[in-house]
Amino acid sequence: MTKHDEYESPLAHRYASREIKRIFSPRERASTWRKLWLWLAEAERELGLTQITDKALEGLRSNLLVSDEAFQVIAEEERIRRHDVMSHIFTLEKDAPDAAGIIHIGATSCYGTCLSHDFKVSARESLLSVSAVTDNADLIFLRDALRLILPKLAKVIHNLSTFALKFKGLPTLAFTHYQAAQPISLGRRAAQWAQDLAMDLEDIEYVLAGLKFRGAQGTTGSQASFMEIFHGDTAKIDRLNEILCEKAGFEACYDISTQTYTRKVDLRIANALSAFGASAVRIATDIRHLAHDKVLDEPHEATQTGSSAMAFKSNPMRSERICSLGRKLSNISTNFSSTFSSQWLERTLDDSAIRRIDIPEMFLLTDALLILLDDVTNGIVVFPAMIRSQLEEELPFMATENIIMKLVHKGVSRQDAHERIRVLSRQTVETMKTNGTKNDLIERIKKDDFFKPIWDHLDGMLDPKLFIGRSAEIVEKYCGSSGPLTGKLEKYKDYIDSTATATLAV
């Protein structure tokens, strides 16, 4: 049997980067647990627990990376014990026998026999409970994954900002209700996409900045066992958590924990990433519509096949994939909301299995979307002639308000002018829809003596740039060198300048 005979998640296999997959890999998870056990032992030793020997610490330090052989032992232990963390503990004891008895001190009844007799701790209480190991590791993974995706998101925003500035003055037809509306510039539309993603950047930065450590809080968060271990010295308990935070790279622990850190943390992160998923779908959907109109397109390779049947087709498959993955991500926060609200009192284990799936997946989805968005936004192909052609089909209608005002300046009644424009416009639309002809409203106006006072002005009133208002200025103010978007991206400048455009695996 090979890997081709077993199911493999396409999210990991086809779409996400190696960097994000490494963070949530079994080896990274297991090795991080071993780091946590080492950090706890080092901190306890520093605070006076002499039962933790130099040999024990050296044994832990020498076995931080979980080997392939160790994974085989872990699998066998878990089959016996039906407890993932305990299977790792017993395997680490075999790898580092000098550390036996000080790993995961006082954690559970089945491990209580390993305790030194000097530790007067109930087996129901712990210095570092099972969930403290898994939860602290999860917080590390959440932090590292957030740090990985933020620069990638910044680069996508930078791509759109560059695009917006390049096309800030190119008039294009706007759409409301997916019907033709007052023109804007193509750059103004891209600036809207960039602003949506900038909001996502702010949200993700916010949840990262607020992320804290669980630390060592005991099985229900009361720190009762630590009071016993440190003989009521609360200063040592506080210092223990300070040391653990320093080692793990966190500023502080959450003020309140139960047996776990509150699952509200997961929900806040999921909300931010789900919102980004919605933005990705929104942008890609716009690109798909515009590709249909042939005014722009996503990048295509020369050998790319659009359809197995229709050889002429060139489909926006990247944008369609963004919509597909983004739909999944934008809805994943529902799972985290249900998990958070379903926790009973100080903790129930029905959070475990779903978090094993959803936490990695929400980040792999985010990473996959950012790879796609980087590729698309850095290679959007614009067709100015098609944009102009589309605009000219609707521009006569857009000009009618200005035509009415020009007639008023010539002394014509506004109501009369409005009625005459309405009649000619309806005739034009009827002919276009019935016969498939082009928009001939201006020709109709030029043949109608009612409009004779402004005939000489008509051609000059049809310059598309007259209809896009302050679009170019708006883009420059937002995306330009002194605009707020540039300021938001400043901290990511080195990454943006040094990173090549993402390459799709498939």
Q: Is 470 helix (H, G, I), strand (E, B) or coil?
A: coil
DSSP state of 253: B
What is the biggest distance separating any 2 CA atoms in the chain, rounded to whole angstroms?
108
Q: How far apart are CA 316 and CA 318, in angstroms?
A: 6
Alpha helices in 18-167 (DSSP H): 18-23, 26-46, 54-61, 68-81, 84-95, 130-166
Supply 288's token pair.
């798909």
Nearest to 261 by CA among 158, 390, 351: 351
CA distance 167 to 190: 9
DSSP track, 283-314:
HHHHHHHHHHTTSEE----TT--S-SS-TT--
**Phi, psi at 64, each rounded to 5°:** -70, -35
Q: Look up 300 and say whether it is catalytic.
A: no
Strand partners, 381: 297
Are the beta carbons of 208 and 217 closer than 8 angstroms?
A: no
> Looking at beta carbons, which pairs linking 453-457 to residues 24 or more positions away fall under 8 Å?
453/407, 453/410, 453/411, 453/412, 454/403, 454/406, 454/407, 454/410, 457/406
CB 130 within 8 A of CB 85: yes
Alpha-helical (H) ranges within 178-223 are: 186-209
**Which one is catalytic: 4, 117, 177, 231?**
177
Q: Which of 9, 307, 341, 413 is catalytic?
A: 307
Reading phi first (left if > 0) and then psi (alpha if -120 to 50, else beta), residue 501 is in beta
What is the distance between the alpha carbons of residues 72 and 244, in angstroms, rounded to a whole number?
A: 30
Spatial separation of the C-alpha atoms in residues 375 and 379, rounded to whole Å: 6
Could you count the other beta carbons within 10 Å of the beta carbon of residue 140? 21
Sequence length of the chain is 506
Is residue 475 within 8 A of residue 164, CB to CB? The reply is yes
Give catalytic status of residue 307 as yes or no. yes
- Cα–Cα distance between 320 and 322 in angstroms, integer? 5
- What stretch of H or E contains 381? strand 381-382
Residue pointed to by tokens 């424009």:
421
The β-bridge relationship of strands 381-382 and 296-297 is antiparallel
C-alpha distances in Å from residue 19, one per residue of 105, 149, 159, 453, 500: 33, 10, 22, 69, 15
Which sequence positions are flagged as catalytic? Answer: 177, 307
